[in-house]
Amino acid sequence: MVEDKFGFDVADKIVTDADLPSGGVYTGVGTYDHGEMVALVVKLGKETDTEIPVLLNVFGSHLFGQFTKGYKSFFEDVDDALEFLEGIEDYIHVEVKKLYPKAELPKFDIERIDKNTLKMHYTSARKMGDLAQGLLEGAINYFKEEIRIHREDVSGDGGDIIFTLTRVG
């Protein structure tokens, strides 16, 4: 994402400047300390003069796009964003855990209010609510729907958020 949006030189600079234990070398099947991501985002924010919440949100939306390419089976027989998001905890996260048993996933308590409204209570010790919101926006864009997201940051630190998604129109 950094290379696509900011160029190779910026990506190379932030990886070099962050002095990461992994050396900035990652694979699709590895599990990494989320502190490395935080270090990279902080460096990227300084390098591009972009606020960290904005970067996390953009990354979340980008990440959703990657999921649609890499995990096509998750999207089979799903008609809309609310239906997809309703299955995150009971289907998507279960399948992710099968593929990556060490994955530390956020928790979503999900309540379907009615056919046009979904309440998602996000909790995570990593406090990446902005990334979670980017993922939600990515899902909405993928399904080409008009859905309003209301965000209530319960904890004030991005680790406990209630997202209410309402289909418009």
Structure confidence at residue 130 (pLDDT): 95
pTM of the model: 0.88
| Cβ-based neighbours of 163, under 8 Å, separated by 6 or more | 119, 120, 121, 122, 132, 133, 136, 149, 150, 151, 152
**73 shares a domain with 62:** yes
Domain extent for 133: 51-169
Q: Assess whether 35 and 96 both reside in one domain.
A: no
Count: domains in the chain: 2
pLDDT reported for residue 29:
67
Please tell me the predicted confidence (pLDDT) of residue 31.
Answer: 72
Q: Tell me the CA distances in angstroms from 97 to 62, 103, 104, 118, one per residue in order.
A: 21, 6, 9, 24
Instruction: Give 10-residue mean pLDDT values along the chain (169 residues).
Output: 93 92 78 84 94 94 92 89 93 82 88 97 94 97 97 93 95
Whether residues 45 and 59 share a domain: the answer is: no
Helix (H, G, I), strand (E, B) or coil at 79: coil
Query: Do 84 and 108 belong together in one domain?
Result: yes
Q: Are residues 68 and 102 in the same domain?
A: yes
